[in-house]
Homo-oligomer: A and B are copies of this chain.
């Protein structure tokens, strides 16, 4: 019996990566005279990866990494006007409207007999803004915004809510963040792939009985019903 369901937010409940990609395009355009688009986004990705341990996830760290990449890529020749444009791109991201993924409100309604916990990572303020704007907050029994999604951080969430890992299923679009750490605790995980998923979140599908791959979030209630019957 699945007693509690964890749901990732970015690119599971609402669009997110698409806004990062749009901003990345704008960033590459600003620096077009200094390189090919593919090279510029590659350099940006490398800077983001290097900064992850100090900045964590979220738009502010992304903004700082764009500024740093612009300086490095131009050997210090980037103009202040271009850096100002980079800050503007990031500030627009922080204000972007929330676009729900198809079927989300219906699925949350169908799962109202379970404890639903939104489990996300990133900037506190930005995630809270998006949740409020989504209109979905009332569906959730709890909201957990984590610095990172690791076995330890999931274990703390489950302990805080008194949930046994065997009765917990996590659903999200990232093998690395939503699937592997939960399976490590002997919980279950449903991968709901999104067309756009950040490169750092990719990983191979695990060979694990607790792992399920779905086509869309609309398939989640059916999976949970099947898991209930199997026990």
Determine the main DSSP class of A at the interface with B.
Answer: helix
**Contacts of A74 on B, CB cut-off 8 Å?**
80
A86 smallest CB distance to B (angstroms)? 9
Interface range, A side = 35 or more
The answer, yes or no, to whether A61 is at the interface (CB within 8 Å) is yes
Count this chain's copies in the assembly.
Answer: 2
| A60 and B71 form a contact (CB under 8 A) | no
The answer, yes or no, to whether A17 is at the interface (CB within 8 Å) is no
The answer, yes or no, to whether A22 is at the interface (CB within 8 Å) is no
| A84 and B76 form a contact (CB under 8 A) | yes
**Contacts of A91 on B, CB cut-off 8 Å?**
54
| Chain B binder among A1-9, A123-131, A176-184, A189-197 | A123-131
A88 smallest CB distance to B (angstroms)? 10
The answer, yes or no, to whether A77 is at the interface (CB within 8 Å) is yes
| A60 and B68 form a contact (CB under 8 A) | no
The answer, yes or no, to whether A136 is at the interface (CB within 8 Å) is no
Q: Which of B61, B83, B125, B148 contacts A67 (CB 8 A)?
A: B83
What residues of chain A have their CB less than 8 Å away from a CB belonging to chain B? 54-56, 60-61, 63-64, 67-68, 70-71, 74, 76-81, 83-84, 87, 90-91, 94-95, 123-125, 128, 142, 145-148, 160
Q: A76-B80, A77-B80 are in contact. List 11 more A-B contacts (CB 8 A).
A: A55-B60, A56-B123, A64-B64, A67-B67, A67-B83, A68-B84, A76-B81, A76-B84, A80-B83, A123-B124, A124-B124
Closest 6 CB pairs of A and B: A56-B125, A60-B60, A124-B147, A125-B147, A76-B80, A71-B80
